[in-house]
Amino acid sequence: MPGKTDVASAPVAGQADEPKKVEKKVTYDVNIPYKLSDAAVQGTRYPDYLPTWDKMWFEPLAPFAFEDPGLRVTDKTLPNLLGRPGVTVTDIQPGFASVVEGLQLSALDAAGRDELAFLIARRKVLAFPAQDLIDAGPAAQRAFMRHFGKLNYQPVSGCVKGEPAFHVIHRHGNREEIASYLEHQPTTTLWHQDVSYEIQPPGYVLLGMLEGPAVGGDTVFAAADEGYNRLSPAIQGFIDKLTAVHTSAKMIGHAKAAGLPFRKDPVETRHPIVRVHPVTGRRCLFVNKEFLTRIEGLKAPESRLINDFLVNHLVTGHDFQARVKWQPGTVVMFDNRSLIHTASVDYLDDGGNAHPRHMFRLCAMAEKPIPVSPPAE
């Protein structure tokens, strides 16, 4: 549960336990549903993980000390993680992303979790099928993820009741909502880095699949470090010096305009376009079209041109992307600092209704993005 400095216990004016009926078209993010059908409520195997909108308020995140657990690893053979009997690693792509089998995340001690962080930093995405952590309950999942950093509280989407660190991803039906979204957008993909507007954005992120369609609903990742490496030295030298403004104002503004609950005022933060990963030392593009609003020192058309170019470079770079397929019981952990990703809402029946897909996300906040060169005094 959040502490006193994070959440005010008193109700907030304009907030509600459940979202109000939305009359306007939903055009912000098809991946964040705000209403549940009766069929969704009655048909779920995990009713305790249905999204709720409790009355709470989050104050701005203050700077905090962070030590990446991957930096504590001295034995690069990872004996507490990969040295266990029966553990196998199968790469999804040569450059990054792997499936790890024969290992229960819940069984890892502190040293094993440090090694897990190190491997995630190296491989960027790890998928763990058939995890008992899925059925261990929110308290166990929260305690596991807390090892990797201070947990993030999502300002608009539904969470597990009493557990604001859980971002719930739930779809079942939602035909009108999805159709409304696709009247305005040609695709459901929304490439982004999670919560990039915070002063210390997430590093390690956990996604857990509770229920899902037999086919579809994949998550696609693009490697932001390899994307940077593919650029010319001239472009690299130019963007190494750039700083961008990230804000949650669009997301919060959508919630306000649609009469939906929100738990935090908009946040605006300056971050480098290129950040240095503290574990690998690699330079990573830190861009997206959802939260990045402008690049400092550039005029508006120039700013849009550079951001659009870099995002499109990552989105179309299929030779440094990985597609992760899901099955119930799978846990995926990824490094938000070196990736950009999107979900795929392609699990629709012939009538446009979504097959059930129910997941949760936990984000561990990390360091303030490290620029290529320290800012001038």
In a domain? residue 152: yes
In a domain? residue 301: yes
pLDDT, position 12:
37
In a domain? residue 36: yes
Name the residue range of residue 186's domain. 24-58+86-365
What is the 3-state secondary structure of the chain? CCCCCCEECCCCCCCCCCCCCCCCCCCCCCCCCCCCCHHHHHHCCCHHHCCECCCCEECCCCCCCCCCHHHHCCCCCCCCCCCCCCCEEEECCCCCCEEEECCCHHHCCHHHHHHHHHHHHHHCEEEECCCHHHHCCHHHHHHHHHCCCEECCCCCCCEECCECCCEEEEEEECHHHHHHHHHHCCCCCCCECCCCCCCCCEEEEEEEEEECCCCCCCEEEEEHHHHHHCCCHHHHHHHCCCEEEEECHHHHHHHHHCCCCCCCCCCEEEEECEEECCCCCCEEECCCCCCEEEECCCCHHHHHHHHHHHHHHHHCCHHHEEEECCCCCCEEEEECCCEEEEECCCCECCCCCEEEEEEEEEEEECCCCCECCCCCC
Q: What is the pTM of this model?
A: 0.90
In a domain? residue 50: yes
pLDDT, position 41:
81
pLDDT, position 31:
55
In a domain? residue 67: no
> Which CATH number do you get for residue 52?
3.60.130.10
In a domain? residue 298: yes
Q: How many structural domains compose the chain?
A: 1
In a domain? residue 349: yes
In a domain? residue 14: no
pLDDT tens for the chain, 377 residues long, are: 333 334 333 333 334 444 444 444 545 565 555 567 777 787 889 999 999 888 899 999 999 999 999 999 999 999 999 999 999 999 999 999 999 999 999 999 999 999 999 999 999 999 999 999 999 999 999 999 999 999 999 898 889 999 999 999 888 877 877 888 788 888 878 899 999 999 999 999 999 999 999 999 999 999 999 999 999 999 999 999 999 999 999 889 888 887 778 899 999 999 999 999 999 999 999 999 889 999 999 999 999 999 999 999 999 999 999 999 999 999 999 999 999 999 988 888 888 888 888 999 999 999 999 999 876 55
